[in-house]
Structure 1
Amino acid sequence: MSAQANAPIIIKRKKVIAGGGHHGGAWKVAYADFVTAMMAFFMLMWLLNATTEQQRKGIADYFTPTIAVNRVSGGGEDMFGGEDFQSTNSGLRRGNGGIDVPEMSEAEAAAAQARAAEVDLLRDIEEILLGSGGEAVLSENALRHVVTRLTDEGLVIEIFALPGIPIFDGMTDQPLPLTVELLNMIARVSAIIPNPVAFASHIPSQPIVLAENPVWDVTTARAMEARRVMQEAGFDPDRTARLTGHGDQSPFTEQPLDVRNDRLEIILLREVP
Structure 2
Amino acid sequence: MDRKPRPIIVKRRRAKTESAHHGGAWKVAYADFVTAMMAFFLLLWLLNATTEKQRKGLADFFNPTIPINRISGGGADVFGGDSVFSEDVMAQSGSGASRVIPTELDRARGDAGQGDSGIEEERRQLEELLRARGGESMTMERALKHVVTRVTDQGLVIEVFDLPDVALFTGDTAEPRQVLRDVARILGDVLPLTTNALAVSGHVRAYPVVLRDNPVWRLSAERAQAMRGLLGEAGLPDSRISRVEGHADRMPVTGNPMAVRNNRIEVILLRRDR
User: What amino acid maps onto 2:50 in structure 1?
Assistant: D
Give 1:111's aligned residue.
110
Contact residue 123 and residue 149 of structure 2 kept, 8 A: no
Give 1:217's aligned residue.
218
Matches within 5 A, 1:90-101: none
Give 2:50's aligned residue.
61
Deviation at 1:65, TM superposition (A): 8.6
Does 2:236 match 1:251?
no
Give 1:25's aligned residue.
none
Deviation at 1:247, TM superposition (A): 0.6
Structure-2 separation of matches of 1:225 and 1:186: 14
Contact residue 156 and residue 266 of structure 1 kept, 8 A: yes
Give 1:159's aligned residue.
160
Instruction: Please list every run of 5 or more consecutive structure 1 residues that lacks an aligned counterpart in the other structure.
Output: 1-58, 69-104
Matches within 5 A, 1:1-273: 61=50, 66=55, 106=91, 110-115=109-114, 119-131=120-132, 135=135, 139-207=140-208, 209-272=210-273
Structure-1 separation of matches of 2:153 and 2:53: 22
Deviation at 1:214, TM superposition (A): 1.2
Structure-2 separation of matches of 1:257 and 1:129: 29
If you compute each CA radius of gyration, which structure gives the higher value, 1 or 2?
Answer: 2
Bigger fraction of residues in helix: 1
Deviation at 1:208, TM superposition (A): 5.5
Instruction: Please list every run of 5 or more consecutive structure 2 residues that lacks an aligned counterpart in the other structure.
Output: 1-47, 58-89, 95-108
Deviation at 1:122, TM superposition (A): 4.1
Q: 1:62 to 1:122 in 2, by over 3 A?
A: closer
Q: TM-score scaled by structure 2? A: 0.57
Structure-2 separation of matches of 1:235 and 1:180: 14
Give 2:28's aligned residue.
none
Q: Give aligned-pair identity as a percent.
A: 35
Structure-2 separation of matches of 1:60 and 1:136: 31
User: What amino acid maps onto 1:219 in structure 2?
Assistant: S
Q: How many residues align?
A: 178
User: What amino acid maps onto 1:151 in structure 2?
Assistant: T
Q: 1:208 to 1:186 in 2, by over 3 A?
A: same
Deviation at 1:271, TM superposition (A): 1.1
Q: TM-score scaled by structure 1? A: 0.57
Report SS of the residue matched to 1:139: helix
